[in-house]
Homo-oligomer: A and B are copies of this chain.
Amino acid sequence: MTQLLTIGKALNLGLRRAMEDDAKVVLMGEDIGRLGGVFRITDGLQKDFGEDRVVDTPLAEAGILGTAVGLAMRGYRPVCEIQFDGFVFPAYNQIVTQVAKIHARSRGRLAMPIVIRIPFGGGIGAVEHHSESPEAYFAHTPGLKVVAVSNPVDAYWGIQQAIAHPDPVVFLEPKRRYWDKGEVDTDATPDPLLAARVVRAGDDVTVLAYGPMVKTALQAAEAAAEEGRSLEVVDLRAISPLDLDPVVESVRRTGRCVVVHEAPVTLGLGAEIAARITESCFHSLEAPVLRVGGYDTPYPPSKLEEEYLPDLDRVLDAVDRAMEF
């Protein structure tokens, strides 16, 4: 069956289906129950599944992740909502020293099928700490998996796949795209969770993006096409581990690559991708891999976020620079 869904609603339906499929799935988070979450992603779920499966937690992110570890040890599959990206840090110790390491520490005896849902990124005119892009902090941490969705189809399937996945998954939701709509076939066979996907074919430059920036990259490709320039756009989807096979294939063809993300450029995902792609495609590259990202400043007050965030023009600017190199 095909439905026109926003990303937010697709997540809601995906969560619902995951909960129906597996009674061990427990949602935890601040305000996710009666309120349905500040973005309403869990709307109606507590009403239907009860307070034991959709848990309004105390206001403590370490508590959310730490008790999720214990629930996982008891055979549950906790799905933790972090209300905003900037509030994941109180839970950082549990995530980095426990969630990420327990499978290895126990030599595989203890599974950690925990999903950490984080609405991430900027562009919604919010106050401080509500627009962060913390993905690199997690991607640098062995033991975690990190994915970012960019559209309703991946939202619907991705959340279910993340929940069914045996390892801990940091699941990044592009909050400013929550209201973007798309057709979702709820009977289809989804793409694998951890695979990149070419979302637009092209020949001149390979543009990589994930989460909210996929739309931006596609807009840039559209605009470039009008000027006769052909961009290949790859939605990375998997941030850790990266799936660079289709990227390498693409860059070997185009010889040029631009990576786009909202996170600060320094040590953002673009750094890793540039290093890896340069190593894999050294003899094919006509230009260095160029990075378009947030500046190396704290996320600015919202009146400045349009200047801070990569947009279509900044992507095209990098494309120009890659072409001229």
Answer whether residue A139 sits at the interface, using C-beta atoms and an 8 A cutoff: yes
The stretch of A49-57, A90-98, A190-198 that contacts the partner chain: A90-98
Residues of A contacting B: mostly: mixed
Give the docked Cα–Cα distance between A297 and B141 (Å). 8
Check if A268 sits within 8 Å of B128, measured CB to CB: no
Which single residue of chain B is at the shortest CB-CB distance from A242?
A: B266
Answer whether residue A112 sits at the interface, using C-beta atoms and an 8 A cutoff: no
Check if A86 sits within 8 Å of B92, measured CB to CB: no
| Chain B residues positioned under 8 Å from A287 (CB to CB) | 282
Q: In angstroms, how far is the closest chain B Cβ from the Cβ of A247?
A: 15
Answer whether residue A105 sits at the interface, using C-beta atoms and an 8 A cutoff: yes
Give the docked Cα–Cα distance between A279 and B129 (Å). 31
Check if B90 sits within 8 Å of A129, measured CB to CB: no
Answer whether residue A182 sits at the interface, using C-beta atoms and an 8 A cutoff: no
Check if B291 sits within 8 Å of A129, measured CB to CB: no
| Chain B residues positioned under 8 Å from A129 (CB to CB) | 97
- A278-314 vs B, CB cutoff 8 Å, 1 = contact: the mask equals 1100100001111100011110000000000000000
Check if A289 sits within 8 Å of B275, measured CB to CB: yes
Answer whether residue A272 sits at the interface, using C-beta atoms and an 8 A cutoff: yes
Which single residue of chain B is at the shortest CB-CB distance from A274?
A: B275
How many copies of this kind of chain does the complex include? 2
Check if B298 sits within 8 Å of A100, measured CB to CB: yes
Give the docked Cα–Cα distance between A40 and B295 (Å). 40
| Chain B residues positioned under 8 Å from A297 (CB to CB) | 104, 142-143
Check if A325 sits within 8 Å of B271, measured CB to CB: no
Answer whether residue A225 sits at the interface, using C-beta atoms and an 8 A cutoff: no
Check if A93 sits within 8 Å of B89, measured CB to CB: yes
| Chain B residues positioned under 8 Å from A229 (CB to CB) | none
Check if B275 sits within 8 Å of A291, measured CB to CB: yes
Q: In angstroms, how far is the closest chain B Cβ from the Cβ of A92?
A: 4
Most chain-B CB neighbours within 10 Å: which of A90, A128, A129, A278?
Answer: A278
- A67-93 vs B, CB cutoff 8 Å, 1 = contact: the mask equals 000000000000000000010011011
Give the docked Cα–Cα distance between A296 and B138 (Å). 12
20 A-B pairs with C-beta separation under 8 A: A89-B92, A89-B97, A92-B92, A92-B93, A97-B129, A100-B298, A101-B298, A104-B297, A137-B137, A137-B140, A139-B266, A140-B140, A140-B263, A140-B267, A143-B297, A267-B269, A267-B272, A271-B274, A278-B278, A279-B290
